[in-house]
Amino acid sequence: MTPRFKNKVVLITGTGGGMGREAALRFAAEGARVVGCDVKVDGNRKTVEMVRARGGDIHTMEPVDLGDPEKARAWVEEAAAIHGGIDILYNNASAARFAPIESFAPEDWQFTMRNEVNLVFYVTRYAWTHLARKGGVILNTGSVAGIAGSGPGGAAHAAAKGAIIAFTKQLAQEGAPHNIRAVTISPGFIETPGTQDIAQMPEVRDALIARNMIKRIGSAADVVGVALFMASDEASFITGANIVVDGGRVSW
């Protein structure tokens, strides 16, 4: 059987760990030519080692601060030049700060918008022409926070992810004439290196699982499995959608 992404050029942001690393491994395993980036130098290089040890094709650049529009542009252009184009863009990277609204510092709001909204726009803006040449797919990482709020302290994160969901719908509208599909994938609580400490606190873990219909915490593999399908030709009639991966958390 031919791999789903044989010779497809897949750009993935935030490949230094967590869902980005899982995405790099899984897309490469299905034949993709992966180009990644991260601000984490050691983490990104570890991802390269892991992908190549399994026979995958990957290039990465690090450190890359995608919140700087010129650095985002440079990464996209270099990535496109490596393989002569772009087929799939997976906007995975993000960073947020949390605090109650009455004490939320303006600089923390700006940090969150820069690293959860602005960088998605910059990368997409500079990848757009490459994607439009032969059609392509944009996967944006949202969150259930963008639908139902993020709990105490999550105002900026909720606003940012709500913006990503809306931005994706706009991309789908403008992309349709170019055969560009755009989809948001909105995870619930996912256990990654960044959330592992919280997830392993028994009282927190029990509270998280209690809200889920599926009685466990999500994994990076749960999210990336959806991304693989959404990026494939099997999902060719899906665009503008927000796919929730949360164990049923926000469904009741």
- What's the pTM value of the predicted model, to 2 decimals? 0.96
Give the contacts of 143 (CB within 8 A, at least 6 positions apart).
150, 157, 158, 161, 186, 187, 188
Residue range 74-117, pLDDT digits in tens: 999 999 999 999 999 999 999 999 999 999 999 999 999 999 99
What share of the chain has pLDDT > 70, as a percent?
A: 98
Say whether pLDDT at 199 is over 80.
no
Separation between Cα atoms, residue 139 and residue 89, nearest integer Å = 6
Phi-psi region of 112 (alpha: psi -120 to 50; beta: other; left: phi over 0): alpha
Q: What is the pLDDT of residue 170?
A: 98
Distances (CA, A) of 83 to 17, 57, 58, 147, 189: 24, 11, 11, 37, 35
Separation between Cα atoms, residue 221 and residue 227, nearest integer Å = 10
Separation between Cα atoms, residue 221 and residue 240, nearest integer Å = 23
Q: What is the pLDDT of residue 191?
A: 84
Say whether pLDDT at 203 is over 80.
no
- Residue-range domains of the chain with CATH: 9-242 (3.40.50.720)
Say whether pLDDT at 29 is over 90.
yes
* Contact between 66 and 37 (Cβ < 8 Å): yes
Q: What is the pLDDT of residue 204?
A: 75
3-state secondary structure of 170: helix
pLDDT band at 60 (very low <50, low <70, confident <90, very high): very high
Phi-psi region of 110 (alpha: psi -120 to 50; beta: other; left: phi over 0): alpha
Say whether pLDDT at 196 is over 80.
no
Say whether pLDDT at 142 is over 80.
yes
Separation between Cα atoms, residue 151 and residue 44, nearest integer Å = 31
